[in-house]
Amino acid sequence: MVKRQKNVRLLAGFLIVASVMITGCVSTQETTLERNKDLIRRLHEEVWSKGNVNKLDEFYSEEIVWHLLPLGVELKGLDQLEDRIQNHRQAFPDWTEKIQQIVAEGDLVATHFASTGTNKGSFLGNPPTGKQIQINEMAIHRIVDGKIVEQWVIPDVFSLNQQLGLVSQSN
């Protein structure tokens, strides 16, 4: 009887330790996912909505590879990305991004967001239209050691061009 009670206590102790270890692993994973989502929320706010390119290195790795899928654009490194953001903000100085949905899994964070802005500067070689636009976009960010190392962006380019009057509504 004493041996059985000892075995039951050992088993109970093992289950408690295993539970704490499993909970700790899940908790650590959940914490990392939440930290990654927070990084992306702050990115949309600080860099893309406010244009704070001086904060790029807080969010992106030096070796960032940034893909603008519909246009086949691929940028490498912070300097190329900074130029792209500055050019975009010259075309749309009031550009704002509002996250609609955010999902994290492993080292990836995906967002669906609405972007708005007024075209006050040259955009893709076209003169400013003064028109205000609103488009939907999606992005996937791969995060390693707290920094974005790769990003894929899919804006609704057709809707953007329609709203700017660069393509007809009937196309």
Cα 71–chain centre separation? 19
Report how far apart, in Å, the C-alpha atoms of 11 and of each of 2, 17, 23, 143, 154 are.
14, 10, 18, 40, 53
Q: Which long-range contacts (CB under 8 A, 24 or more apart) does 154-161 make?
A: 154/69, 154/70, 155/68, 155/70, 155/115, 157/70, 157/71, 159/133, 159/135, 160/133, 160/135
Helix (H) or strand (E) holding 99, with range, is: strand 96-105
Any residues with CB less than 8 A from the CB of 76 and at least 6 apart, and which? 63, 64, 65, 66
**Digits of tens for pLDDT over the chain (171 positions)?**
555 555 556 555 555 545 555 555 555 667 899 999 999 999 999 999 999 999 999 999 999 999 999 888 999 999 999 999 999 999 999 999 999 999 999 999 999 999 999 999 999 899 999 999 999 999 999 999 999 999 999 999 999 999 999 987 665
Neighbouring residues of 47: CB distance < 8 A, sequence distance ≥ 6: 53, 55, 56, 59, 85
Task: Give pTM, 2 decimals.
Answer: 0.80
How far, in Å, are 11, 56, 120, 123 from residue 91 at the CA level? 66, 19, 5, 5
pLDDT of residue 24: 52
What is the DSSP-derived secondary structure letter of residue 47? I
